[in-house]
Each structure stands twice: as structure tokens, then as C-alpha cells.
Structure 1
């Protein structure tokens, strides 16, 4: 039977808003409350090669993760994320065991640029890193950043490449919220047609154009011939315009897909922690984030504009429209 899996990324994607500084006690309490929502997968932060600080959901050792998630709640899988451009070296990652995170999600890049600005192929680097994750005994989810940059043939080739690793899932990722349901369903069907049936199809979206909920609902109505994963966070906390709202999609899944997620702990997390963060560092739909989506531009430019607001929105529109393709994709602090 095909299954719908709901993944909570509040403590991971939400960390883009506050530098992952939720506070040590808050992190422990939020982890427990979010597990009590009965989401299928709970993602608790990043694995990075950085000094560990207990008040942040950024870890450099699986032992730190184990302490946070113990005891693991029955029926919930626990996940952390790595990014190939700033990875935790594989030699620092202990092999998986029953107490560790179950899943490691890896953000892979199609290309990257060297210090001279030359474009380099990055998929092979991502493949080798993901291979190392699997060899350590973890379940793997592959997150190809900015799916819209792939042609159909490139996307299919990428799918074939990573399915060789027998991953738990491969995602369609709308990193900057630039795609509508029709565009993303196109990639989802390409993935569905080119993956073994046991590989899950994932969706991770952002709300730059208020598309995340409609895309998730459209995905559910497609009845793909495989299990799926949908990412969401409490109150949509996340990078730029934020993510799909966990409480909204959970209610929808309960009403129309036979799920039994407990929304009460989601509201508690919002009331006790997320509301206060929002009052200091706002996220969510705004015209500047909409414009970065229109121009397929890194949303960090809108973040800077919203902090300073020292020019009109029309001036902002003009300036991002004049950015080079390189500067649109790779955030240029000087240009910002």
C-alpha cells in the first residue's frame, strides 16, 4: 500500500530564520512536542563541520543527535540534513545504529563555481558523498537543489544516477519557490516514471509565490504509484518566504487522506516558541520574495531589502532584474 509521509522540518529549515539558535531547552522541548504530533519523519537539524553549540540545531557528531532524540518515539523516523557544498566529512560520521538518526537527507547541487567563477559539475561529488552515507548504514534522501535548473533529460539522468544507491527517497525541490503546480508535477512524473517502485517521491517547497499548499494538494491528487513524502514546518518557518505550513497540511491530510496527526502539539510549539521568533525575524509571503521568484533570483536579496527598506520596491525590482545570471543564482553580498 502506498503511504503518505509527512516530514516536519521546523528545527532544520526554520533555522535559516534565527541561525538555528532555538535555545537548548527549547530544542529539547520542541523535539518532544513535534514527535508527539505523530509526523512520520522528524528532521531536527543540520550536520555540519562547525563547532557544536547546544543552543543551535547544527551538529557535528551523531552522538549529539542521539542525546537529543533519546528515547526515540515509536512510529517516528528521525532525520538530519547535510549539504554537499558544506558537508560534515564522512570520517566524522559514526556508522548508523538503533539510537542514531534513521535518515540523512543530502542537498546535492547540479553545478558549483570555483573561486574564479568557473562552472563545475557537482553531481558526481554529491553522488560520492551520498554513497558514503549509505555505506555508513543510514537511509538516504536525495534533495537536488533548484529542480527548475534541470532539463528533462538532465533530470532523468540525475534520477538514474542516484537510484543506483537504493535511496529511501528522491525529492523534487523548489528551493526558491519559483515553480507552480503544473511545472513541479512535470518533474514529479518524470521521477515517478524513472525510479524503482520502492523509492519514495518527495516534495519540498517554499512560499515565495504562495504555491506550497496548492502544489502539495495537487501532488496528493495525482495518486502516484509509490509512497510520497511532503515537507512542512510549524507556521511555515523557513528560509525566505518560508515553507508549507505543517498545521495546515496536517489538517488537510487528516480530513481527506485518513491520517491522524495531532495538531495540538503543533499549536503548542507555535505558541511557546515560533510566535516569539516571528515577532523578531519575520518570514512568509511578501512582494520582495515574490519578485525574487519572478526573476529566478536568490531570496537572500529580498531578505536584505526587507531588513533595510531604504529604497522603493520598484527600485528593488529594477536592480534584481539587472543582476547577471551568476549573481542571481549565487548571492553576491556586495551587490545586495
Structure 2
């Protein structure tokens, strides 16, 4: 290579973690640390006319507010850039570049818009900015399509600063790197820089970056990274780690200490509140070549086991893989479960005979039941009471186990328990196992809500019970140690997820209580 520059994306890609809500003080701390580290190029954030803000966030309403409220002075030798998605900002509103302005625009786009960005690039260059071409999910291009696009760039945008290899889903391996690098290097104008932006779904960002640096070329290179890998999903290449590598093996003089200090004071604080980094769902997203938002949706909303998440990701249509579509994801989930239907008419009749006009105690595995064991035990022993445990029966010997989890179902079968289970778990109806139609009991106000609590309460309403007592319906906390008395049931949730689930249950139970008396036996966030 001729020269290498490092481009830090913490304020932009890192903003995908916290919805760009760094706050002005944290924004300035990160910027100051990057300037002190001598990073070559700093990406300040997104420009988005619809979702942007004037200050306090790194998603900006236009380019002017960046210099008005954030980049008040520029350090010599540093290039300052911002990203915009194709068609998310009217380029007629982009001001002519001044010495005090940002220096460049990085434009991200999907394959179906690749030729449309030519005119956008010309406008940006004509206004005095460096223009960086960022084709997202470059692995979706065939060799022929990529060469045709590069040839168009050569003809129409010869003054563009850089052409990027963007591994949006963190799916590239060394052979992919070498194939695409050879294609781009062989066909792109020699005057144009090649950049590489990775995600760490397969934990290959570092090794792919090394492969990128070792590629035999005489052209300039740019490598993207972020402090502590902060970025969407599995995150990015770590700036502090790779600068150290460059200092050791490429005789660079980057300063690592300012980055470590801002990690200690800023990035760690954010990381404690909002997670990024490797997880199984991001791995599954990568190997299924789709945006990680689908895996997150299936895993977090429906709390599915990973094998079912993998099956669902494999069902996603090619034209839906690049961008998350919530409505499509929900329809796909319902389609996935359509083969799990079960004629439960006779089952419901039998259950109605067992539950009609009864007082029913439903015991969820919330931690608060520990403090009320004696009271709960006394109640479930009363003559007109029927008791049901949800997915766990380690503490209470209840009349029935209602389970939506295969592992809990198997444990209950082996223990000889009376079981109520949806057809998503089993279709083996027998004297001790009551199978209900999964699809019938999961819809609330038109949305799929297939938690065990929702399903059993819907079922009890159908059975015309007299009163429902709820124990262990604690509600969700970001502290997973507070959610379940059985640590094997713990599933991490974000603050946003906890709030959404608590609000849903609060509204759901409020509606049910208009028809059936509901009494909480233990403390709950749903009250």
C-alpha cells in the first residue's frame, strides 16, 4: 500500500447503540480523545433531515448544525466527515463547503440504488466535499454487478475520494476479503482510495483488517474502526487495539492513552447501560446473511430458543434480508407457527370442566414468590382453588404445569405432572397432557404475544374462572438477577425491552380485570 489512514466511526456507528444520544458532554469527550489520539479521519455522525437533531445527538438535522454546535474548531491534519444514507437528505440544502465545514460526506446505499448515487456524488463533490462511496452489504453484489458499478464510478465519479468494501453483516471471511479486494483493486481507478468497514458478528474484524493491510497494492487505504468496538449489533473493529497494531508493525505514532481514558470515563458507562458485542443472534444473522434486527426481534420479543431463531432467519426472503421490516417479521413468525395448529375443542371442554367458577392461583417464576411461600402454599391447598405453575415447579407442587418451553415440558413429563402445553411444544395429547392450539391463544389486540403468562390468562378467561391470583408476576428488570428465582431461566433484557414488556402486561391485565377479578399475591411492576 502507498499510505494508510484510520477512520474512527464511534460517533456515528456507535450512535446506533444509543440512538445517537451521547449528550453534548460525551460527544465532546469522544471527539477530544480522538483528536489527541491522532486518528486521521473522524466521523462525527449522521446527517438525516427527518430524524436528526440540532445538538446533543450525533444524528444531525443538517450539516450546518455540526459546526454550529459541535465542531467549533478543527485540528490540523485531521479530516472530519459525516455519513448520510442515500435519499435521506436533500442535497440542495447542503451548504457549499467552507474551511470551517466538515471535509467529507460518506454516502451509504443499498445495491438497488448503486447507480442512483452517481448524481448525488457529483453534487457533493461540486460543493467542495470529499466523497466516500459506501456500498452496504457488498457481499450481495455478484462479481459482474460489482465490476459494472465500479466502471460506472470510474466514468462518472473519477474525483471521488474513496470506494469502500462494506461488510454490513460481519459475514466476510478471508477468502471473501481476497476475492473482493482483487476485484476492486483491479478495476477501480488507481487514483482512488479503497476503504474497509467491518462488523464483528463472526469475531473476524481484526483478522480481516490484517488481511486488508497485507493486500499487495500501491494505492492508498482507509480502515474503519471504533473505540471499544462500539457499533451496531456485534460492533466494529476496536480503534484502540488496531492503533496499537499499527504502531507496532507499521511504524505509526498513534496515541492510545486518550482512547483508554475516554473508554474509562464515557464508553464503559454507555456499555453498562446498552450492550454491543458478540452474541448468538448476531452470529446467526451473519451466517444467514441478514440484518441482525431480525434475530433480535425473534429472540427478544418472542424469547425463542436459538434453534428456532435460526430456522426463522433461514426463511427470510432475499429481498427482505438487507433492511428490517417489522410487519414482515411478524407475518413470517405467524407463518412459521402455522404448522403448529391443533384442534383443541375437546381439550378446552375438558379444561372448562376443571376450571369453571374456580379460584385459580397462577405462579410465575418471579423472584418475589420467595418472600411469600407460606401464604401461597396455604392458598393453593384450599378446597375450591386450582393451582398452575408457569414453566417451573421447583418450589410449589401445583395441580398443573403450564409450559411454553420444551425443556420445562420434558422435565414435567419425566416428573409425571399434569401438563397444559401449546401445540408449539407438543401435539401428544393424552390423559395427563392437555394440548391447546398455539395460534389461538397468542394474539392480543392483533399482535402476537406468546409468553406463558398471556396464554394461560387468555385460557383461564375462556374457562370462565371465578378469580385469578397472580404470584411471581414481578415484571422485568434490566438486572437479570432480579427477574427469576431460578437462575437457569434468566434472559437479559435492555431497559427499553423491560419498559415495553412491563407496559404491555400492565395494560393487558387491566383489560382482563374488567371481566375477571385479579389479585396479586406478590409485588409486581404490573400494578
| Fold equivalence (TM over 0.5) | yes
For the residues of structure 1 that align with 2:225 and 2:300, how far apart are their CA atoms? 25
- Compare CA radii of gyration and give the structure with the larger one: 2
Q: 1:159 aligns with which of 150, 154, 166?
A: 150
Q: What is the correspondence of 1:124-163 to structure 2 with a 5 Å cutoff?
A: 124-163=115-154
Equivalent residues of 1:178, 1:208 under 8 A apart: yes
Deviation at 1:303? 2.9
Cα 1:92/1:169, change in 2 over 3 Å: same
Query: Gaps (5+ residues) in structure 1?
Result: 112-121
For the residues of structure 2 that align with 1:281 and 1:239, how far apart are their CA atoms? 11
The answer as to 2:320 corresponding to 1:327 is: yes
For the residues of structure 2 that align with 1:205 and 1:75, how far apart are their CA atoms? 25
Deviation at 1:306? 5.3
The answer as to 2:71 corresponding to 1:80 is: no
Deviation at 1:275? 0.9
Equivalent residues of 1:288, 1:305 under 8 A apart: no
SS in 2 for 1:13: coil
For the residues of structure 1 that align with 2:258 and 2:296, how far apart are their CA atoms? 30
TM-score (norm 2): 0.60
- Structure showing greater relative contact order (alpha-carbon pairs closer than 8 Å, 6 or more residues apart): 1
Equivalent residues of 2:194, 2:222 under 8 A apart: yes
Equivalent residues of 1:192, 1:225 under 8 A apart: no
Deviation at 1:59? 1.5
Structure 1 partner of 2:515: none
Structure 1 partner of 2:8: 8
Q: What is the correspondence of 1:280-319 to structure 2 with a 5 Å cutoff?
A: 280-305=273-298, 307-308=300-301, 310-319=303-312
For the residues of structure 1 that align with 2:72 and 2:198, how far apart are their CA atoms? 29
For the residues of structure 2 that align with 1:53 and 1:78, how far apart are their CA atoms? 18
Cα 1:306/1:55, change in 2 over 3 Å: farther
Q: 2:219 aligns with which of 217, 220, 226?
A: 226
Q: 2:231 aligns with which of 234, 238, 261?
A: 238
The answer as to 2:266 corresponding to 1:273 is: yes
Q: 1:69 aligns with which of 50, 68, 71?
A: 71
Q: Cα deviation per residue 1:81-106 (whole Å; 9 max; x = unaligned)?
A: 11104x21111110111111111111
Structure 2 partner of 1:209: 202
For the residues of structure 1 that align with 2:57 and 2:161, how far apart are their CA atoms? 27
Q: Cα deviation per residue 1:209-249 (whole Å; 9 max; x = unaligned)?
A: 11111111011112321110000000111111111111111
The answer as to 2:184 corresponding to 1:191 is: yes
TM-score (norm 1): 0.93
Q: Cα deviation per residue 1:282-325 (whole Å; 9 max; x = unaligned)?
A: 11111111111111111112333554471211121122122222
SS in 2 for 1:196: coil
Q: Cα deviation per residue 1:255-303 (whole Å; 9 max; x = unaligned)?
A: 0011111111111221111111111111111111111111111111233
Deviation at 1:63? 2.2
Cα 1:309/1:232, change in 2 over 3 Å: farther
SS in 1 for 2:7: strand
Q: Cα deviation per residue 1:129-157 (whole Å; 9 max; x = unaligned)?
A: 11111111101110011111111121111
For the residues of structure 1 that align with 2:314 and 2:224, how far apart are their CA atoms? 30
